[in-house]
């Protein structure tokens, strides 16, 4: 009777290692295909990031202002009318790109309160002088702790706060006219109906 020779363990380990990249590649390809399918169906938005604040009151905080008084979470918890809170920074290129859209929103009468993220006061003032100032009020989050409590991934990020101080929407990235028409205009219409 002849004995069946078993391959050494090293050979089995090498074969498994060769298969790992193939499994990773197949999983990545499947994820990519799913993302493309969802984009074609209009169900995928790369700027849509989950936020623990949606449907909740604005968190408590107290920030100094750029020129004088800043604002607190309590100020945003009872704003009397819908508003936007926009996290921005002077060093942020997309923040420069969205400045015209923010100016147009402010002209239409929707208040925008800005929170600078890890920025120096002088740099923020120069940014506003160059790109315009659409903000009704500006607070400074130099250490970035308030942004962490809001769940900010990076700047710019914008939040829609209803008249009751509830966060109803969040957008990560530079606002565009398309985003305003698709998201902010319907939010305002719903807020007006409910008041």
Alpha-carbon span 75 to 82, nearest angstrom: 13
What is the C-alpha separation between 75 and 77, in angstroms, rounded? 6
CATH architecture of 62-194: 3-Layer(aba) Sandwich (3.40)
pLDDT value for 35:
58
Question: What is the reported pTM?
Answer: 0.76
Report how far Cα 127 is from the mean position of its chain's Cα atoms.
20
Task: Determine the pLDDT at residue 69.
Answer: 82
Separation between Cα atoms, residue 170 and residue 84, nearest integer Å: 10
Domain ranges of the chain: 6-44, 62-194
Give the integer Cα–Cα distance in Å for 163 and 84: 11
Regions of the chain with pLDDT less than 50:
none
Positions of E strands within 34-108: 62-63, 71-72, 83-88
State the angle between helix axes of 93-107 and 121-131 in degrees (0 to 180), rounded to the nearest 10: 60
Q: In this structure, what token pair is assigned to residue 133?
A: 């100032």
Three-state secondary structure call for residue 38 = helix
In the numeric block, the tokens 């020129």 are attached to 67
Residue 80 per-residue DSSP state: S
Give dist(CA 170, CA 160) in Å, integer: 6
113-123 residue pLDDT tens = 999 999 999 99
**% residues pLDDT > 70 (the chain):** 76
């Amino acid at each position: 009777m002849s004995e069946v020779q078993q391959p050494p363990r090293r050979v089995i380990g090498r074969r498994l290692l060769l298969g790992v990249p193939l499994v990773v590649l197949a999983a990545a390809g499947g994820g990519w295909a799913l993302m493309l399918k969802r984009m074609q169906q209009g169900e995928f938005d790369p700027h849509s990031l989950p936020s623990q604040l949606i449907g909740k009151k604005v968190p408590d905080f107290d920030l100094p202002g750029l020129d004088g008084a800043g604002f607190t979470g309590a100020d945003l918890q009872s704003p009397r009318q819908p508003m936007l809170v926009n996290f921005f920074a002077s060093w942020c290129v997309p923040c420069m790109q969205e400045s015209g859209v923010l100016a147009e929103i402010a002209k239409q009468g929707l208040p925008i309160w800005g929170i600078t993220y890890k920025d120096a006061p002088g740099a923020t003032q120069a940014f506003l002088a160059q790109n315009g100032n659409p903000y009704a009020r500006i607070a400074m989050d130099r250490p970035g702790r308030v942004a962490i409590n809001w769940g900010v991934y990076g700047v710019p990020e914008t939040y829609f706060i209803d008249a009751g101080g509830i966060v109803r929407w969040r957008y990560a990235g530079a606002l565009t006219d398309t985003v305003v028409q698709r998201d902010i205009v319907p939010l305002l219409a719903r807020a007006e109906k409910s008041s």
